Amino acid sequence: MMNGKKISDDHIRCLLELADWAPTHGLTEPWRFVVYANPIEFCHQHAELYKQNVTAESFDKAVYNKLFEQGDKASHVIIAMMKRGNLPKIPVIEEVEAVACAVQNILLGATALGIASFWSTGGMALRPPMKDFLSLGEDDHLISVLYLGYADKQPSGSRIIPLEEKIKWVG
C-alpha cells in the first residue's frame, strides 16, 4: 500500500522523540531502535538471514522473496527492541510493555502525520539469528519491525468485537 515517497528524517526523529516519552517502571527506558533510512538494505539482510538459517528442505522461495521485497515501497524501517535494564526487580513483561508503548507512540504520531505503517514480527524477526544480527543480549528482545511510508490511500480501521463486549463496568 506504500508508494515509495520518502519521509523526512526530521519526521522520523520526531516519532522517536514521541517513543522516548513512553511510560517505564523504574525509569529503565528499555527501548532501543535501529533506523534504516533505506529499507531495502534491511529487507535484503533479513531475506539472507532466512536463507542461511533454514534447511534446504524447509527453504521456501516465496517467503524469501517476500522478505527480500517487503520494504520496496517503504520509506524507513524502524526496529524496536527491548534492552533489559539492570533492575531485576522490574518484571520482563513490564519492560516489553514499555517498549510496546513506545511503539504505539510512534504509530500514533505516524498516523497524525499521514504516514502509513506496518508492524511485523514475521520471517526471522523473533528467531535467535536476528538477535545475533542485532547484537541483542540473552535477556533482550526484538519487539517489532516497523515499516513506515506514505500511501496514496490511508487504510481504514475496523474492529470485529464491539467495544461494549470488551468492557465490564463495576459500581
Q: How far apart, in whole angstroms, are the C-alpha atoms of residue 120 and residue 125?
A: 8
Task: List the chain domain ranges.
Answer: 9-154
pLDDT digits (tens, 9 = 90+) for 21-80: 999 999 999 999 999 999 999 999 999 999 999 999 999 999 999 999 999 999 999 999
Single-letter amino acid, residue 54 = V
pLDDT digits (tens, 9 = 90+) for 104-136: 999 999 999 999 999 999 999 999 999 999 999
Contact yes or no for 146/106 (Cβ under 8 A): yes
What topology does CATH give the domain 9-154?
A: NADH Oxidase (3.40.109)
Contact yes or no for 97/77 (Cβ under 8 A): no
